[in-house]
Structure 1
């Protein structure tokens, strides 16, 4: 069947059963947009207001649906505007395929209008990238791109298509799935390592199970639960591992990290066995590496061989898909009890509760606190909503105080920490799940302004997204560091904002602002019961700090519960 390269692009997307893509048209990608015009009944194209929002939207869609997200942009600035989101997707292991237009191939390297070497720029930010100059390559390249994006450790792929490849004619033949591509080869489970791991677990007195994002990616939640329950092992999670394990389960002991739970952090350094599943031991988890896990034998399960022994030496490294490895491991693990070890967690939690949590979620005076807002939201949604957060203090507060009853309900920018992420990612998530789940974007007043223009997409797409802005008139996390480590020199962290209610109303979105504690309950009810998009701005305490905190470069054993220690 003869068609243009542009028509082949659209046909390849349909062959991959893509239903939704996020993009912004321009000169070099215009032939592909012309081809999209004929297939609006099969492909829902979401017109964003900035290309960065296209990639964040694709990421939110991918994370909410466990499918591949798709972003599309033109050449030059359109393509370069994707790079932040592509890097974000790479470090957080999100499968997205980015399609960029490019100038005519005969103009490559001439500094033509809106020419940028997006292939060179994204070599280190993608799992794979490729420039198409011949339309006949399109079916195979697209098939390979989608396979690579979602195989092994998922990640972003970029396809750059010159304009002549889009307008040129070709005979379209649907590409068959690869059978020999090295990207498709799953690692074989080493049973000797499985047996050794089971022996270590069976002999453990103080074991800890760390759930990372890889648990969610491999859909290993049930296997993780089965292992934890059989061996009575305390479970802690990374930031991106949140909602892989119900936070109300008796075995769940909290979140690790710089602003994680006191018990989870401190007792990791007392563990004799640590089973790390689908996580990469980044610096926010480990603190000072030289002081990390001094007594523990480490069992590390990861699909990415490069992560094993990269930061933390593993006694047992199991290079495998998390779900497959856990299912093989479980029969060899003995049913046991660790009553005294759980008591140590309970005691440490009580210390955090009395010192930090109680006053945060149940203040009796002063301005509203972020934690009480999140705790009330969690209560009203029964822990069932998809929570999409931006980056900063509110992100850590949401992670700490929202009780995730269901799995796969937490979406945030983890490794890159990209401000401006929440709104477009929440739009993508909501378009992915539709009316099946409530999606709530939570942002600070600083990060929200970075992609505030995407409010226009809500009315355009007719979706009912709920937005909460926790407004403290500061770049809160930076201000906290300035207070603690820079002698309160608040250098350019006080921020003024527009009237968010008026801005929302200008986009034809319902909105409300509250400042009083007594108004919180009803305001959240109005937000959640609205059948259209709704923005709720909540004025919170200005100079609130997030504790516990592991100071940068310190050991996790030195987790601070208060400013003083």
Structure 2
């Protein structure tokens, strides 16, 4: 269809051949189907009831569509595009539907790249709708315009700029199909703004249906048998459960296989789901974030089963001379629904492409029938894991409640244990103060403690951005609450550095009275960067030129996060710096969240965890393995 130029006089110009007259575009009450109507038709069919965004002139027709009652979709305004995109991430993950975000031309997608990257790495399904300038102007390089597809395409499964209103139905059908197809991820549509208010031909409006590719497909049975035999032959098998496990909701299936084999289970670094239940004896925590740590912990095993493994090199330093992350003596087998991730960096002797939840039982069926499988040896491995797990639990309890602590200093483990005690009805509080807890985590230095102590009922009860781009969690908590409503208590725990990225997320929380508990762990330092520098020093013998004060916030800015939140409308909050007061302040905060249905900010003054914190990876320790001195380095 030929594009129309805007009129330059009172007399309307004649429409070029085949074009719709301008008057027809303006007559929005004529009963014509407009471009924006097509978009809402598809979103409704995808069970989307929220659009997140930052208002821009180009997107006004789209935002206005949320005021049309029959569209039944609410607009959630944010004060920054990366907040809107992060909120859409939380909504998509918690609701298992595509998150939808509206952005404003080049600055909009530019501002949102940090969390678009996080969404891509965490495989969160998003439909990003970006308003483009008027199509007749694009050749002339107008204000704020650029090649938006080129900006977004590196971090999306599919990116496209719509060429006319009649393409909108097909573009939306494809966008929703691609976003939700396994493995899920974000897609991007650039839409010249006038297409939103131009009429669509009746034959091109679509009916809102989109292709839904079935996720539960069984892997090749010959390759399944091959993989099962390698596991049955193993003397010391290990399972690495990646985000593919959480996405498939396959806790039970992985646990059944781990118990049959007597195999320990690590989860991948910076997991965005809780990929294995933390109260099972097989669980050994996340793999370390250093080359030496990964090699050491995987190297004591003869077979490694990488199940849904995405984050295969979450490191900041790598030395070729040291050797590959997975030692050459370890046989590798893979299962995933994503062919790109299977054997991506290393050779896999068996490689199964299939849904994890559906395929794992078939692997398990094959193992007892294999003549080389030694059930007695597997039983002994199970018994050892059970004994070590019991000892680990006791050591963590002794550590958290140790009587030799004369100081009132608060560590991340104190916060994690206090949350767990409230979940279980301890600390003088009824367990219903929390009910189901969903933790949105960006206190990276405290992740091990949080994963050890807090109770999780499902993989989606834990959310962390695998991309590591800071400024994710406060926005994501918004969408998580809107998706879950009264079904869970959303707790966002975030370091002070990350909290400074987007404190204006609190404006949206206040506007919609979202009952979210924000816990700010304030340690006045870039702790992960300090660890990262230590790794560089140890690996290369490099030393900083000075005292590296640039990694220490000294003197610390006189920030008061409770007052900052209040300036954005979150008026309930408190600071706590004494360990003896922590549990009581948490009870108070959670009662405001649960009973008054209001957001609350609890700023906790913390110090780094002492070196004597117990280890989660008890099996490796029992084999005489040294603790990784640097632990998880985290986003840097």
TM-score, normalised on structure 2?
0.79
- The correspondence for 1:527, drawn from 572, 589, 593, is 589
Q: How many residues align?
A: 553
Q: CA deviation at 1:245?
A: 2.5
- The correspondence for 1:491, drawn from 536, 545, 550, is 550
Report the counterpart of residue 553 of structure 1 in structure 2: none
Report the counterpart of residue 210 of structure 2 in structure 1: 177
Q: Is the 8 A contact 1:273 1:298 kept in 2?
A: yes
Q: Secondary structure at the match of 2:225?
A: helix
1:539 aligns with 2:571: no
Alignment of 1:420-439 (within 5 A): 420-439=471-490
* 1:343-386 alpha-carbon deviations (Å, 9 max, x no partner): 66578779988999954674713321111211221222249411
Alignment of 1:337-352 (within 5 A): 338-342=378-382
Report the counterpart of residue 376 of structure 1 in structure 2: 418
Unpaired runs of at least 5, structure 2: 1-30, 370-374, 425-434, 538-542, 618-623, 632-636
Q: Is the 8 A contact 1:76 1:115 kept in 2?
A: yes
Q: Which has the larger radius of gyration?
A: 2
Alignment of 1:80-229 (within 5 A): 80-170=110-200, 171=202, 172-178=205-211, 189-229=219-259
Q: Secondary structure at the match of 1:209?
A: strand
Q: CA deviation at 1:110?
A: 2.4
1:296 aligns with 2:330: yes
Report the counterpart of residue 22 of structure 2 in structure 1: none
Q: CA deviation at 1:151?
A: 0.6
Structure 1 residues 373 and 432: CA distance shift in structure 2, 3 A: same
- The correspondence for 2:279, drawn from 244, 248, 265, is 248
Q: Is the 8 A contact 2:234 2:303 kept in 1?
A: yes
Inter-partner Cα distance in structure 2 for 1:149 and 1:73: 18
Q: CA deviation at 1:477?
A: 1.2
Structure 1 residues 501 and 178: CA distance shift in structure 2, 3 A: closer
Report the counterpart of residue 327 of structure 1 in structure 2: 361
Report the counterpart of residue 388 of structure 1 in structure 2: 440
* 1:296-319 alpha-carbon deviations (Å, 9 max, x no partner): 321111112122222222111111
Inter-partner Cα distance in structure 2 for 1:234 and 1:143: 43
Q: Secondary structure at the match of 2:549?
A: coil
TM-score, normalised on structure 1?
0.89
Inter-partner Cα distance in structure 2 for 1:549 and 1:496: 35
Q: Is the 8 A contact 2:412 2:608 kept in 1?
A: no
Report the counterpart of residue 85 of structure 2 in structure 1: 55
Structure 1 window deviating more from structure 2 (368-377 vs 224-233): it is 224-233
Q: CA deviation at 1:185?
A: 9.2
Structure 1 window deviating more from structure 2 (221-230 vs 531-540): it is 221-230
Q: Secondary structure at the match of 2:498?
A: helix
Unpaired runs of at least 5, structure 1: 551-555
Q: Is the 8 A contact 1:259 1:396 kept in 2?
A: no
Inter-partner Cα distance in structure 1 for 2:282 and 2:208: 47
* 1:261-283 alpha-carbon deviations (Å, 9 max, x no partner): x9x98543211221111113522
RMSD (CA atoms): 3.3
Inter-partner Cα distance in structure 1 for 2:609 and 2:514: 34
Q: CA deviation at 1:144?
A: 1.1
Structure 1 residues 38 and 562: CA distance shift in structure 2, 3 A: closer
- The correspondence for 2:260, drawn from 230, 233, 242, is 230
Inter-partner Cα distance in structure 2 for 1:389 and 1:452: 15
